[in-house]
Every structure is written in structure tokens, then in C-alpha cells.
Amino acid sequence: MKYTQLGRTGVKVSRIVLGTMNFGPQTDEATSHGIMDAALDAGINFFDTANVYGQGENKGRTETIIGNWFAKGGERREKVVLATKVYGNMAAEGDAWPNHDRLSAVSIRRNVEASLRRLKTDHIDLYQFHHIDRSTPFEEIWQAIDVLVQQGKVLYAGSSNFPGYKIAQANETAARVGAFGLVSEQCLYNLAERRVEMEVLPAARDYGVGVIPWSPLHGGLLGGVLKKQAEGGRRSGGRAADALKDPAQRAQVQRYEDLLEKHGVEPGEAALAWLLTRPGVTGPIVGPRTAEQLASAVRAADLELSGEVLDELDAIFPGTGPSPEAFAW
């Protein structure tokens, strides 16, 4: 497994990030524990979760599964760089009590304590803001995070789904108040969705913020979806299904799969490997439901795509172009 530094920090993390969103809703606890053990054995040390993962009435369930795994011992917690998130409403479904969500100091304090209990740990390595909070000033947010840092409950802060200007605003405020600021940004980024290249990635690079792409296969669209359909595999849903309704996008995906078949490369592994060639990318988040899906992601970390393949991928899925030139009429 290859490693890199998390943004401008000194901490070393694997270039594949284990996403845990499926733990609980789609993968039972025993299987989830097996996947985490296999990830550690493969050298993956960066695990990502969120307080709301678990769905519906089971919000928090995913953190609990991870906490139970840590409780097995064997230095599991010590070997993992643990990331979780705050923002989503943690109240029961249909319950509208205030301060159960967003990024007020009250919400951050309550939610970090709850996450620590579920995760059965005394600290979170990377505490991420799951969304921007337009109603809370960054001065308040950084004051709350700095208290947690001083208490040893949080080491670093990151963002998720932030536009470029909010990354800049967050870190300029941090510099003004003497906080360390954001060290990472999680964003939707893959071959089929490259809009973050216009502003988010340049802002992240300028501020030393590591980029952690989520949905690297674009909801399965880049994972060999057409071949799987032809072989009678599971029908696609969500983002992939919507894209395939468009004849032009379907033809684009067919070109992609044909290219990789010609070169003997699995589509899903190529999509991950492509992200690892992007400047500023720490590592994509993979959310395996099975051990084989995890093994495929591990192979992708060592896959070297040729210049010819990279050029052809860019031709099939052209990027937005550099900023600010891409904004010109």
C-alpha cells in the first residue's frame, strides 16, 4: 500500500481510504469487522465515517460498529487514522429539536461527545464538517474546535462538500484567530464529475488541504456497469441509472469500458488509479460491501496507468480546463 501525508500535516495515511457508509445498512457487523481487519492487513490505515451513517432510526449505528471493532483490541485503534463528521441532524426521525445539527459550538460539543462514546475512543484524528453552515460564523466554529484540540479530543479538522471560496474563508479566518484550519476536503470527484477542478482543487492546493474524493466510481457508473448488465448482473440504481438513460452518456461509458478492456484493466480499478494521478488528491474513499470489493481497491493503489491510457481517458471524460481560463466565454 502506498502512503502520503494528509494535507499539510505530518500524519501518514494510506492512498486508499476505507469508507464505512455501508456498515450497518448493507453490511452486517460481523462482515464489517472482517472488512476492517482485511483493510488493516492490506495496509489501509485511514478509515472514514460520519455520525449520521446508519440510516433512519439507526443513525450512529456505523460509528457503533467501528467502536465495537476497536474494543476487540489488538491495537486496532492505534493503527487507524480515524475520521468522522458532524453536521447532520442526529435527532430521531421527525424530531425537530434545535441544536441537534449544524456547526454551532453547542452542536459540535454535543456531537463530538456522542461520537466518542459510539466509537469507544478518547479522540478523533480528523473531525470533518459534513456541509457548510451558513448560519454559524467560522470564528465560532474554530473556537469550538480549538477547545476540543486543547482537550485532546480532536487532532485535525476537515471539510466536506465545501465550495472553493468556503475553503478559503475557513482558512483565512483560522489564520486570523490563530487556529490550524482545515487540513482536508471531501468532495465528489471522479472521471465523470470533474467540476471541482475549477475552484475546489485549486483552493485546496493553495491552502495545503488534502483532497479526499467520495463516489470515485460515480455511483457504479465507472465500475464496468454496462458489462455487468450484459452479463445479467445487478441492475444499477441512483446516479448510474440516471446517467445511462442519456444515449450520449451511455455511449461515453461504452467507450470507457471498451478502452479499458483493450488494455486489460478493470474499469473500477482504473477509475481509482486515475484519481491517484490527480495533483493534491490524498486518496479516494472506497465503500466495500464485500472482501472482494476491498481487494479490488487495494489492487488499484498499485496500478500504474500508461500515458496513452490517461490521455484517452481525458478524451472520453474531458475536464473543465484550468481556472480562471475555463470561465472565459
Q: Looking at residue 254, what is its pLDDT?
A: 97
Residue 243's nearest CA partner among 213, 219, 261 is 219
Residue 243's pLDDT band, with cuts at 50, 70 and 90, is confident
- Does the pLDDT at position 266 exceed 80? yes
Contact, 153 vs 116, CB < 8 A?
Answer: yes
Range of the domain at 135: 3-220+266-306
Tally of structural domains, the chain:
1
pLDDT at 229 over 80: yes
Question: Average pLDDT, stretch 33-45?
Answer: 97
Q: Is 47 helix (H, G, I), strand (E, B) or coil?
A: strand
pLDDT in tens, 126-145: 999 999 999 999 999 999 99
Residue 329 has pLDDT above 80, yes or no: no
124 falls within a domain:
yes
Pairing of strands 12-14, 3-5: antiparallel
Q: Is pLDDT above 70 for 256?
A: yes
Identify the band that residue 170 occupies on the pLDDT scale cut at 50, 70 and 90.
very high
pLDDT at 276: 97
Is 315 inside a domain boundary? no
pLDDT in tens, 75-105: 999 999 999 999 999 987 777 778 889 999 9
Question: Cα–Cα distances in Å, from 235 out to 223, 249, 257?
Answer: 13, 17, 17
Check residue 119 and give its pLDDT.
98
Q: Is residue 179 part of a domain?
A: yes
* Predicted pLDDT at 47: 98
- Of the pLDDT bands very low, low, confident and very high (cuts 50, 70, 90), residue 231 is confident
Looking at the DSSP assignment, which residues form a beta bridge with residue 193?
A: 190
* pLDDT score of 323 more than 90: no
The pLDDT value recorded for residue 24 is 95
Determine the pLDDT at residue 97.
76
- 224 falls in which pLDDT band (50, 70, 90)? very high
Say if residue 321's pLDDT is above 90: no
Across residues 144-164, what is the average pLDDT? 98
Cα distance between residue 206 and residue 15, in whole Å: 21
Q: Is residue 15 part of a domain?
A: yes
Percent of the chain with pLDDT strictly greater than 70: 98
The pLDDT value recorded for residue 233 is 66
Q: What is the pTM of this model?
A: 0.95
Mark whether 156 is an active-site residue.
no
Per residue in 269-305, pLDDT tens?
999 999 999 999 999 999 999 899 999 999 999 999 9
In a domain, 234, yes or no: no
The answer to whether residue 289 sits within a structural domain is yes
pLDDT(66) > 90: yes
Name the catalytic one among 53, 127, 156, 207. Answer: 53
Whether residue 282 is contained in a domain is answered as: yes
Output the domain CATH number for residue 114.
3.20.20.100
pLDDT(72) > 80: yes
Please spell the DSSP secondary structure of 80-133, one letter per residue: -EEEEEE-S--SPTT---TTSSSS-HHHHHHHHHHHHHHHT-S-EEEEEESS--
- 212 belongs to a structural domain: yes
Supply the pLDDT for residue 218: 96
Quick one: pLDDT at residue 267? 97
234 has a pLDDT exceeding 70: no
